[in-house]
Amino acid sequence: MRENGIVGELRRFAVETRVAFANFVLRIPIQRLRNLSARTLMRWVVGRDVVIGRWTFVSDLGGIEIGDNTNIGYHSHLDGRGKIKIGSYVDMAPFVTIHSGDHDPNDPDHGTRYRPTTIGDRVWLCTGATVMSGAVLKDGVVLGAKAVAFGVLEENGIYAGNPAKLIKHRDPGGQKNLKPYRRYWI
């Protein structure tokens, strides 16, 4: 029994060390190196022409899938312990937080629960937006600055506030021909 405890501690230490190293690499001002470390060290599934901004922070390795032509703004926080799927042509401003784990308020021990979080294609997450565990942002959603998304957000809806409320809908055909977002020099 004691050996299992020591082995478990060593495994936890190894994972925590890799997470710390991954967060260090995500500070480096070389985009290709950040993408390479996301694919290899962090075991993310990363599409073509993805920009991962500097100072992006991860809580755990793996569990994150990013579609083509997506921009993750600097200082964003991605908690992939319960799986995060980000679609194509998604534009995340700086300081965006995406959770896939939270605490069950009905659990007497305040236990952690993990639920997949899904962000569709052509979604725009404004500065400081937060997407909570288990949320589904359908294609074309705009989540306003510092808004907090829970549950399912309608396709092409513009949301703001905490909790995020539907403000209006945007033109569904307005973003069909988006051009790739490329900033390889940072």
Whether 110 is a known active-site residue: answer no
Q: What does the longest C-alpha to C-alpha distance in the chain come to?
A: 61
Rounded Cα distance, 107 and 135, in Å:
20
Given the residues 75, 77, 99, 103, the one annotated as active site = 103
Task: Give the tokens for residue 55.
Answer: 């100072």
Please state, in angstroms and as integers, the Cα–Cα distance from residue 115 to each residue in 12, 20, 86, following that order: 22, 24, 14
Rounded Cα distance, 160 and 66, in Å:
24
Rounded Cα distance, 130 and 114, in Å:
16
Active site residues: 103
